[in-house]
Structure 1
C-alpha cells in the first residue's frame, strides 16, 4: 500500500536521485510494491500522490525516477526532492518550500492596494502560496508592466522576503513609482498637404496644456495612439488621398524617462477625384431614386466618409422594402496617371424577409398591449431594420424598463420568415424624489415628487409635484394616458395650486399671486416627430395685495378686482428631430402655442407663443445652436391683458448679462420690472469640446450672443434701439441633476434703469 512515513531510511539500496535529478547508480527495474513519503509538513499526502507519475504496481526504472523528480519540482511546492529505491519499495524524501502567509505592498499611490493585489492574484500569487522565486519574479514584472501602461517608465518594483518561522515567510513588494512620463513632442514627417498642427488636432494624445490635469491626454497610451493614427488615416481618405499610408511610428523615451517623443512618418500620395460612380445589381427598378442618395458625383474629390454614408443610405432604403440582409460591394478602379478613381457599387438584394410573429417576454407587470402599441415593425409585414430601431427607442422612452432587447430569429424550415423576440426587463416605475437645488434667480429650491409611471401596468402615469423656492411654490397633480384612444391620442389631466411673487418683491411682503386651476388636454400625433394638442382649462388667479404693491398692479386690481376667473382654450403643436434632448448637436425643435381666454370668465384675452431651435454640427465636435422665442398677448372687448400672464426677459435662459426678469416695462412709482405682453428673445451659441476631451458632449465650452426684450401692450417701440444684447462665454455640463450651464455674460447696450448680473447659471434644457 501507499504510505507516508516520517522515519529516516536506513539504507539506500540501488538508486539515489539528488536534487538535480542525477543518477548515482544504475537501478535494476522492479515492480513497485509500496511508496513512502518523507518530510511532509503542510502538504497532504494525497496532493503529492496526485502529481506523482509513479503508482503501486508500476515498473520502476531510472527514467521513471527522473520523471517523478521533475513532476514534483514542477508543482513549486518543494525545494528538495529525492527518490530512493529500497528493494521493491520507493521512498520519496521531500523538503517543502515555506508558505507565504503575508503579502505587503508599499510605495504605491497610482494604484490602490486592492488593484495590485488582484494583479498578483491573476498571476497566481496570493496569501497561502508556496515560495516560488520564479513566480515572484513574474509577479514583480507584471506589477511593473501595469505602471508602464500608465506611463510610469521610471517605475521600479523590488521584493523583500522575511522569515516568520520555519514554515512561514512574509513577502514585501516595494514600489518606487518615479515621475510619470509625458508627451513632450509629436512630430510628423512627410506631410505637405496638411500642417502638423492640423493633424495633431485629429489626435486625442497631445503635449501638455492647461487641461492636461483633467484630460490626461499628455500621457502616452499605445491603444490611444493606434486610434489616433486611424483618425489621421480617415482624415486623409475623406479628402481624396487614396494612397495615404503611415510608414512608421517611433516612440522615444528620454534618458530620464520623463518625456516621450512621438515621430510619425507619412506617405500622403496624391488626391484623387471621382471620374465615375455607378450602381449595378438588382435595384428594384428604382435606380433614379438610389442615385439621388449618392453623396459623391463625377468630378468630386473622393471621400471615404461620403462613400460609406451613401452605401448606408441605400441599404436603409432597401431595408424599407423588406431586404433586411442586402449588401453592397465596392469595386474601385484607380487611374494613377490621371489621379482619378472609378467606383462601381454592386447591390446584392438577398431574399425579402417577412415577420411571422412578435413575441414579448419579461413584462410581468406591464400589459402586452402597452408594448405592442409602440412597435412600428408589424407582424406579416416586411422586416425593416429602421422600424426595429424606432420600435426599440419608443419602448425605451416609456421609462418602464431597465433594458429592452430585440432579437431577430430565423424560422426553422422557412427561408423568408423571421420571428422577433422582444425581451424587456421591468424596473420600479413608482418613485418618490426629494431634491434641493439652487439657481441664481430662485435661490434655494426644495422639491418633492411622487410619481407612478405605469399604473397597474396600463401605461398611464400619475404624479404629484411639490416645489418651493424663494419666488414660488407649487402643488400639482398630473395624470397622463398616452393611448387614450387606439389611434394613439394622448390625454393629459393637470390640477395645480401655485403661489409666486413678482420679481424684486421680498417674501416679507404679503403681496403675491395665487393661481388655482386645472387643464384637460388631448394630443394627436401626426408623425413620429409632430404632435398637436387641444386643451381647455379652468383657472382662478388671485392677487394678495398690500402697501408694497406697485401702481400697475393697483390699477389692475381697481379695474378687474383681486380675483380673476378664466376658462382658457389652447391649441399647440410641437415637432422634435433633435438627436439628443440634453446635449443636441443635430436637428431641430419647434413648438407653437395659442391660448384664448374666453369671455365666460372675468378676463378676455389671447396670447401666442413660439419657440424654435436648430442645431448644426461642424467638424471636430463644434456645434452651432440657434434659439428663438417669442410671445404676444392682448386683451379683448376693452379688457386689459391679464397682468399675471405677462412675459419676463433677462438672465439665464434669456438675455444673459442682465438680471433675471429685469428687462422690459417698469412701474412708474417703484421702478420695479412688471413684465409685458410682448416678448422676443434670440440666442446664438457656438459650443465646442473642452480642449483635450475629444468630442465629449458631457462637458463643453460655449460662446453666446443674446438679444431680446419685453414690451407692454401700449408700447409700440419695438425697433432695434429698444432691444438688449448680451455676449459672453460659459461652461455646459451634463450633471447628475440635469444639464447645467454656467455663463459669464456682459451687456452690449446699457441704459440707466438696466440691472446687470455677470455670473449666472441654470439647470434645465439646452436653451
Structure 2
C-alpha cells in the first residue's frame, strides 16, 4: 500500500514557508530512496539537484527541507517552491519565474539603445534572464540616473510588462526624456580679492555658450562640481589664502526642471607670505642639495602649487638615491597677526629600495626585448627615479606607442623591494597601399607601398615603394635597424631607382632624371640622447633635356654631362631629448648633417643642414613648439651647384599655405607660361606652433588642434631674411589607425606675383 503524504508543518518549515512564499510538509525523518522534481520548464533537473542539501540514501529531516526551500528560492529561478514526501520519495515542486523574452525602449533619443541594454545588464535585467519585479524597479532607477547624468532632470520612465507564451514576459521601458536642464546662473558669494568672472573661468561648469553643444559644460554634474570646487580652492591656495574655506554650495532647480542655479559661498581669509622655510627629519647629509629644490623663498606669496612642486622635487631626488617611498610632510605654522607662514618640511626617506622585477604589459605585437633594451633602470639594482624617467622617455622616443605608463608596485610583506610596471599602448606602425589609375598622359599607373616601422615587433623598420607613373617612377627598398649591434649602433641601408619628369605636363616631354644607387649609414650613440652618423652612398645620375628645359638644368648638363656618378660621404650628429617621438610635449631635438660629394666621382659639392626643435608644455595639454632649419650648399671645383641637390621649400612640411616646393627661384615655360620651381642651394625655415586638445576631450593626445606661424624661402647663395614668405593658419593632428595625420589650412601673409598657393594641405604626420 502506497504511503500517504504527511501534512504536519514544523515551526521551522512554517517560518520558511511564510517568508519565502513556499511550503514544506512536516514528516518523520526517513531515508530518501528517490527524488522527484515537478514543474520544471527551462531549468534542468540537475540544477535543482545541485542545490538540494540532501541526496538519495541520506536521511531527510524538516531542517533539510527548510534549507532546500531557501536554497532553491535564492537561485532566483523560482517564485514558489514546495518540498513534500511521498513515502520514501522526496518530491520537489517548483514554479519557475517568467523569463524576459524581449527588452525594448521607446522615446530614447539621447542614448544608444545597445549601450543602455549593457548598463541594465549590470543590474541584472537582460533578455533570457528571469523576471524579477525588484530588479525592474532597480532598472528604472538606473535609467533615470543615466538621464540625470546628462542633465535630463525631468525624464520619466514607465515600465510595461506583457506576458507572452511559454511563461515569458516582454518588458518595454517607455521614456519621456523631457528637455535637458541647463545651468542658468552660477553665483559665487564672499569673494573680495578676485572678480567672480575670474573664479568662474577656473570652473568646468558654465552657463550656455557657443561651445556648449560640444563640451556639455552647461549640464550640471556632481562630479564636475566637486572638481570645480577643488579648482577654486587651489586657485586661492596658490595665491597665499591659506584660510580659504568653501562654506556651502546650493544646487536648485526650477519648478519646470529646465533651469539649474548654483550658489557657492566662500570665505577668503587673509593672504600669507613665507616667513621661513626649514627642512627637518632624516636628510641623509644632503640638506644643502635638497634645500635648493624648494621653490618657495622668504618673502614670496605662499603657493600650494609651488609647495607641491618642491616636495615632489625632493621626493624625486631621494628616489634617485634609491629611496622609492620617500615622504615629505609640509607643516605650515601661521602667524595670523603678521599674515606670515613658517614652512617646515619633514623629510622621511624610508628604507632604501631596490627593484625586484620589471613587468612589461600592453605590447601585443612589440617584443619585450625592444622595450627592455631601452630601460636604464635594471632589475636587482637600487631604485633610481631619474633612470626610471629616462627609461620612459627612451621608450616614448621609439615612436611605436601612443602612451607609456611607468609605475612602481609594492611587494606584499617586503618593505625594501618594488616591482616596476611598464604599460604601453601600441599604435599601428605599418601601412600597405595598393592602387591603380589611368590618365590620358600617364596611361596606366600602378602604385604599391609597404612600410613597417616595427617589423614583426622587432623594432626594425623596412620599406618598399613602387610607382609606375610617367612623371615619377620609383622602386625603392630600405631597412633601418636601431640595434645593429648590442651596444645600440644603428644601421640604415637603401637601394633605389627613380625616374623624375616634373616638366612632363609643361610641354617638355623629353626632360627626365634617372637616378640609381644605394646608401649605407651607421649611427653611433655616445650618450643617452646623442648620436653621430657616418654614411657612404653611390649614385648614377642620367639627365635628358631639350630646348624647353629650364636653363639651370641645361647648365647642369653642360657642366657635368648627361650621365655622371656621385659618391657622397655623410657625417652627422643628432640630440633627441624629447619626451616622445610621436607626440612630443617637452624637450629639444637637434640635428646637423654634412654631405660631401667626394672626388671619387663627378659631383664635387658639399651641403650642410641644421635643425633645432623646442617643445614647452603648459597645463591641460597645451604645447608651444618652435622649429628652425637652415641649409647651405656649394661646390669646391668652381662648377655650378648640382641642381639635383637643390633644396625646396613650401607646403605643410615647411611654409604652409604655399604649394609644396614652390618657393624660391622658378622657371617660366615660353610656350604655355607655366611656372616651375627649380629650388636653390640654400634654405631658411622657421615655424611656431601652439597645440591644444580638442575642447571637452581632457588632455587627449591623439586628437589635437593647432595654430601656426610659418616663415621660409629658398636662396641661391648665403640665406638671409630678405624675401621670406610667411603664413598663418590652423589645423588638426590625429593619431589615426592609418598612422599620424596632419591637416592644415594656411593663410599666406605676404605673397608676391608668381607665388603658387594651396591653402588646404595634409600629410602623414611629423612634428611640424
Q: Report the CA distance shift for 1:473/1:109 in structure 2 as closer, same or farther (over 3 A).
A: farther
Unmatched segments (≥5 aa) in structure 1: 439-443
1:602 to 2:628 alignment = no
Match of 1:280 in 2: 280
C-alpha displacement at 1:365, in angstroms?
12
Q: Where in structure 2 are the equivalents of 1:121-520 lying within 5 Å?
A: 121-127=121-127, 131-165=131-165, 167-353=167-353, 373-378=373-378, 381-391=381-391, 394=394, 433-434=432-433, 448-449=449-450, 451=452, 453=454, 462-466=462-466, 472-502=472-502, 509-520=509-520
Q: Report the CA distance shift for 1:586/1:637 in structure 2 as closer, same or farther (over 3 A).
A: same
1:539 to 2:543 alignment = no
Q: Which moved more, 1:302-311 or 1:344-353?
A: 344-353
SS at match of 1:123: coil
C-alpha displacement at 1:605, in angstroms?
1.0
Contact 1:13 1:86 in 2 (8 A): no
Whole-Å separation in 2 of the counterparts to 1:10 and 1:292: 90
SS at match of 1:722: coil
Q: Report the CA distance shift for 1:112/1:32 in structure 2 as closer, same or farther (over 3 A).
A: farther
Match of 2:725 in 1: 724
Match of 1:678 in 2: 682
Whole-Å separation in 1 of the counterparts to 2:313 and 2:747: 45
Contact 1:241 1:271 in 2 (8 A): yes
Contact 1:625 1:685 in 2 (8 A): yes
Match of 1:441 in 2: none
Contact 1:17 1:83 in 2 (8 A): no
Whole-Å separation in 2 of the counterparts to 1:502 and 1:383: 58
Match of 1:636 in 2: 636
Q: Report the CA distance shift for 1:611/1:107 in structure 2 as closer, same or farther (over 3 A).
A: same
SS at match of 1:197: helix
Q: Report the CA distance shift for 1:473/1:589 in structure 2 as closer, same or farther (over 3 A).
A: farther
C-alpha displacement at 1:645, in angstroms?
1.0
Q: Which moved more, 1:304-313 or 1:684-693?
A: 684-693
Whole-Å separation in 1 of the counterparts to 2:485 and 2:10: 98
Q: Report the CA distance shift for 1:2/1:228 in structure 2 as closer, same or farther (over 3 A).
A: farther
C-alpha displacement at 1:632, in angstroms?
0.7
CA RMSD of aligned residues (A): 5.0
SS at match of 2:628: strand
Match of 2:661 in 1: 661
Q: Report the CA distance shift for 1:532/1:145 in structure 2 as closer, same or farther (over 3 A).
A: same
Contact 2:282 2:349 in 1 (8 A): yes
Whole-Å separation in 1 of the counterparts to 2:427 and 2:727: 45
C-alpha displacement at 1:371, in angstroms?
6.8
TM-score, normalised via structure 2 length: 0.81
Contact 1:18 1:82 in 2 (8 A): no
C-alpha displacement at 1:630, in angstroms?
0.9
Match of 1:706 in 2: 710
Q: Report the CA distance shift for 1:365/1:329 in structure 2 as closer, same or farther (over 3 A).
A: closer
Aligned residues: 746
Contact 1:401 1:424 in 2 (8 A): no
Whole-Å separation in 2 of the counterparts to 1:243 and 1:470: 76
Q: Which moved more, 1:390-399 or 1:361-370?
A: 361-370
Contact 2:427 2:737 in 1 (8 A): no
Whole-Å separation in 2 of the counterparts to 1:46 and 1:371: 51
Whole-Å separation in 2 of the counterparts to 1:538 and 1:700: 42
C-alpha displacement at 1:536, in angstroms?
1.8
C-alpha displacement at 1:228, in angstroms?
2.9
Match of 1:742 in 2: 743
Contact 1:212 1:218 in 2 (8 A): yes
Whole-Å separation in 2 of the counterparts to 1:527 and 1:196: 52
C-alpha displacement at 1:309, in angstroms?
1.8
Whole-Å separation in 1 of the counterparts to 2:319 and 2:177: 56
Whole-Å separation in 2 of the counterparts to 1:712 and 1:663: 12
Whole-Å separation in 2 of the counterparts to 1:220 and 1:559: 75
C-alpha displacement at 1:601, in angstroms?
1.3
Q: Which moved more, 1:529-538 or 1:116-125?
A: 116-125
C-alpha displacement at 1:542, in angstroms?
2.4
C-alpha displacement at 1:677, in angstroms?
0.9
Contact 1:13 1:85 in 2 (8 A): no
Q: Report the CA distance shift for 1:166/1:699 in structure 2 as closer, same or farther (over 3 A).
A: closer
Q: Report the CA distance shift for 1:731/1:464 in structure 2 as closer, same or farther (over 3 A).
A: closer
Whole-Å separation in 2 of the counterparts to 1:461 and 1:550: 38
Within the candidate set 687, 690, 698, 2:691 is matched to 687
- 1:422-477 CA-to-partner distances (Å, cap 9, x unmatched) read 89999999966237899xxxxx996522558568x987555434468896454333
Q: Report the CA distance shift for 1:368/1:756 in structure 2 as closer, same or farther (over 3 A).
A: closer
C-alpha displacement at 1:743, in angstroms?
3.0
Whole-Å separation in 2 of the counterparts to 1:11 and 1:231: 70
Whole-Å separation in 2 of the counterparts to 1:211 and 1:72: 56
1:766 to 2:761 alignment = no
Whole-Å separation in 2 of the counterparts to 1:191 and 1:344: 30
Whole-Å separation in 2 of the counterparts to 1:322 and 1:431: 40
- 1:362-417 CA-to-partner distances (Å, cap 9, x unmatched) read 9999999877654423567533133244346546766899999989799999986x
Match of 1:590 in 2: 590
TM-score, normalised via structure 1 length: 0.81
Q: Report the CA distance shift for 1:19/1:492 in structure 2 as closer, same or farther (over 3 A).
A: closer
SS at match of 1:648: coil
Whole-Å separation in 1 of the counterparts to 2:400 and 2:132: 55
C-alpha displacement at 1:676, in angstroms?
0.8
Q: Report the CA distance shift for 1:307/1:376 in structure 2 as closer, same or farther (over 3 A).
A: same
SS at match of 1:262: strand
Whole-Å separation in 2 of the counterparts to 1:700 and 1:28: 72
Contact 1:163 1:170 in 2 (8 A): yes
Q: Which moved more, 1:462-471 or 1:167-176?
A: 462-471
SS at match of 2:295: coil
- 1:129-150 CA-to-partner distances (Å, cap 9, x unmatched) read 5554333323322222222223
Unmatched segments (≥5 aa) in structure 2: 438-444
C-alpha displacement at 1:741, in angstroms?
3.5
Whole-Å separation in 1 of the counterparts to 2:324 and 2:474: 51
Q: Where in structure 2 are the equivalents of 1:72-111 lying within 5 Å?
A: 98-111=98-111
Contact 2:333 2:343 in 1 (8 A): yes
